[in-house]
Structure 1
Amino acid sequence: MKKKRISITDIANALQVTPSTVSRALNGGGKVSEKKRLEIISLAKKLGYRPNPIAKSLLANRTQTIGLILPEFTHHFYSRVLAGIESITSKAGYQLLICTSNENQNQEIKSTLTLLDARVDGILATISKMNDKFEHIQEVMDSGTPLVLVDRFSEEIETPYVISDDFKGAFSAVDYLCQIGCKNILHIKGPDNLSTTFNRFMGYKEALRKHNMPLKEELVLESSDPKLVEKIRLCLTRHQVDGAFTYSDYLAFEIYKLASQLKIQIPEELSVIGYADEPISTYISPTLSTVNQQPFEMGAMSARYLLNKINDPEVALEVKNLETKLMIRESCKVVETQS
C-alpha cells in the first residue's frame, strides 16, 4: 500500500496551528515565535515531511528543471556533452529532463512539446539531422522559454549556440595530410543537411586550396550512399589515394577494414584522420589520428549560456565556436622537420 505523503496540513493539525503558520516556520517567515518554529521543524523532521516541488514551482514560477534533447547516447561524443551539461546544472540546483530524438524529427517535435508541458525553465537541444521543419523550435522561443542549441547550427533559428569550429578542425586535419605529402586525399562526408557536414567539407576544400591541390570530385564520397563500401574500394585501388579524412571516426574505421583487405599499409601507404576522438580511435591498430571537439566543454558552456538566459532573458544572442584539437596518432606519417 502506498504510504501517504505528509503535508503541511498534517503538521498543522497535529500541533493545532494553521497551515500558514507551519509554512512560515518551515520557510523562515516572520510572525512565528522561536519556540513554535523549533517545535514545527522538529515534528516535520520526525514525520519525514518533504516540500511539494510542484507547489513550490507554481509559487516561484520556476521548476528548477532543464529539458535536454540529444540525438542519441550511444556515441561517446554525446555522453561527454551530457556530462559537461550536468557538471554545471547540478551545481546550480537544476534537474535534467532528458529526451532522445534518435535523429527523427517527429520524435524531436514530441520531445519538445513534452518539455514545454513540463514547464521546464529552459531547453538545451541538438537538432536532428533530418530536420527541415522548425515550428516546434519557434514555439519554444515564442513561449519565452530560454533555448540554447548545441553542436549543430541552423540559419533558420535565431538563438544562442555552442558549437565546435568544424571548419578549422577539418582544415587542420587536411592541412596536415598535405604537409606529409599526400596528393590524393579521400573525403567521406557526413549526413546531408547538417551544418557539421558542410563546415567539415569546406575545411577540406580550403586546405586543398592552400596547397594548390585540385578538388577531385571522384574522391568525395557521401556516407549515406548505399554503395559507399564499393566506392571506397574503388578509390583505394584506382585513384592512388594516399590520404583520407572522414566525417567521423566510425567512417575512418570502414577505410581501415578495406585497407586491410587490400593489403594497404597504414600509415606507410595511406594516412587516415577521422573526427570526434571516439574511444574507437585509440582501440584500433594503428591508433587513429582524429579531431577532438571538446564535447565536455561544449556541454558545460551550453549549460552556462542557458542559465545566463534563464536569469536574464535580455542577454544578447551568442554563437560560441569552440576550438578543436588535432590528435595525431599512429595512422599518419609524421611531418618531417627541417634541420
Structure 2
Amino acid sequence: MNKNRVTITDIASELNISPSTVSRALKDHPGLRKETKDAVRALAEKWDYQPNLLALSLLHRKSNTIGVIVPEITSHFFSAIITGIQDVVGKSDYNIMICLSNESYDEEVVLVKKLMNMQIDGVLVSTSSETENFDHLRKLQKNGIPVVVFDRDCPGLEADKVLVDDYSGAFQAVEYLIATGCKNIAHLGGPLNLSTTGHRLNGYLDALKKNNMPIREEYIVHVPGFSHKDGSKPAKKLIQLDNPPDAIFAMNDNIAISAMHVAKKMGLRIPEDISILGFDDEPHSSFFTPPLSTVWQPVYSIGMLSARILLSHLNSPDTVLEYRKEIFIPELVIRSSSKAN
C-alpha cells in the first residue's frame, strides 16, 4: 500500500472482490459467508482502515455530529459547559464539534453556514455579545436542524433554551449588600445588548427599589467585555466619584476581581471600605485575597441538560417538536470580599 488513506476499493482490489462486498462485510451483512467477512475484517485491521465519515455524511445527509458554538473557551464557565455536553454526547452515537465565535456576530454567521455545509445534525449555541439578529439560527431550523440555546437568551427566537435566572442572582446579591449596611451600591454591567446584562441590571435596580434606595445613574457603568482588563477603567471611574460607592456588584467574577485590584491600588480596604461581589463563582475566585463573594451558577448541569434536550430531538425525529425552556436558579456564595451579615 502506497496511499496514506486506505479505502474500501483498496481492500476489494487486494481480495479480488467488489467494493460493495467489502462494505457489506464490514457491516456484518448476514448474506455473506463467514470466510469473506473474516478476510475483509482482517485486512481492514491490518491496514488500519477508517471509514470516510465526510463521504458517509454526504451520502446519508447525516454526520452524527453536533455543533457547539460558544463565544470563547478560556473561562471556566464555558469549558465546564462543554465538559457537561461531552459527558452526555460521549455516551451516544454522536460526536461534538466545538466552534468559537470570539464574541463576533459575523464569525458566528460564518460558523453556522459551515456547519450546515457539513451536514451537521444539531446545534448547541451560546450567542456572541454582538448578536442581535437570529436569522442564521432560524435558517438552521428551516433546514430541519434542531437548535438548543444555552446561557444567553435569544429573545424572539422559538427554540429550546437552557438558561440561568440572572435576575434572581443579581437581586439576591444586591439585597445581601443592602442587608450588610451598604448604602451606595454600584453596578459594573456587561455589554448592553446581551440578555444576561439586562437581567442582572434589572435585578440590581429592583433590589434597590424594593429597599427604597436611590438609583444613581453614575453608579451604573457598563464594561466592553468580560476579561480582567475590561473592568479596570470602569472600576476606577466609580471609585474616583465625588461620592464613591461603598459596594460594587459586578457582571462577572473577572470584572469583580479587576475592581478589587483597582480598589487596593487606590488604598481602599476590602470589605471595610468597599464590598465587592461578582457573578459565576469561577474556581480561582476563592483564592484571591480576600476571597471573592459571588453568585454560583450550575454550569456543568447547563451543558448536560442542553445536550440531553438536543439528543431527545435527534433520537425522535418524527415526534412533534415542542420547545422547552429550562431555567436554573443561582445561589449566593458569601466569602470575605463583602461585609458579613
Note whether the superposition's TM-score is higher than 0.5.
yes
1:317 aligns with 2:323: yes
What is the CA deviation profile of residues 15-41 of structure 1, one whole-angstrom value per residue up to 9, with x for unaligned ones?
A: 333332322222121211223322332
Aligned-pair CA distance for 1:288: 0.6
Q: Sort the Cα spacing of 1:229 and 1:179 in 2 relative to 1 into closer, same or farther, 3 A.
A: closer
Q: Which stretch shifts more, 191-200 or 22-31?
A: 22-31
- Distance (Å, rounded) in 2 between the aligned partners of 1:227 and 1:40: 67
Superposition TM-score, scaled by structure 1 size: 0.90
* Cα-Cα RMSD: 2.2
- Distance (Å, rounded) in 2 between the aligned partners of 1:249 and 1:4: 49
Aligned-pair CA distance for 1:108: 1.0
Identity level (%): 39
Aligned-pair CA distance for 1:268: 1.8
8 Å Cα contact 1:190-1:247 kept in structure 2: yes
* One-letter code aligned to 1:269: D
* 1:255 counterpart residue number: 259
* One-letter code aligned to 1:316: E
* 1:23 counterpart residue number: 23
The alignment partner of 1:128 has SS state of coil
Matches within 5 A, 1:144-163: 144-163=144-163
8 Å Cα contact 1:187-1:246 kept in structure 2: yes
Matches within 5 A, 1:45-194: 45-194=45-194
For structure 2, the 5+ residue unaligned runs are: 225-229
* 1:202 counterpart residue number: 202
Q: Pick the aligned partner of 1:333 from 327, 336, 339.
A: 339
For structure 1, the 5+ residue unaligned runs are: none
Q: Which stretch shifts more, 259-268 or 300-309?
A: 259-268
8 Å Cα contact 1:249-1:280 kept in structure 2: no
* One-letter code aligned to 1:271: S
* 2:290 counterpart residue number: 286
- Distance (Å, rounded) in 1 between the aligned partners of 2:258 and 2:53: 50
8 Å Cα contact 2:236-2:259 kept in structure 1: no
* 1:39 counterpart residue number: 39
Aligned-pair CA distance for 1:240: 5.1
* One-letter code aligned to 1:15: L
8 Å Cα contact 2:239-2:245 kept in structure 1: no
- Distance (Å, rounded) in 2 between the aligned partners of 1:2 and 1:283: 56
What is the CA deviation profile of residues 13-68 of structure 1, one whole-angstrom value per residue up to 9, with x for unaligned ones?
A: 33333332322222121211223322332233233222222343345432111112
Superposition TM-score, scaled by structure 2 size: 0.90
- Distance (Å, rounded) in 2 between the aligned partners of 1:43 and 1:2: 15
Aligned-pair CA distance for 1:110: 0.8
The alignment partner of 1:183 has SS state of coil
The alignment partner of 1:111 has SS state of helix
- Distance (Å, rounded) in 2 between the aligned partners of 1:67 and 1:22: 31
Q: Which stretch shifts more, 42-51 or 189-198?
A: 42-51
8 Å Cα contact 1:308-1:315 kept in structure 2: no
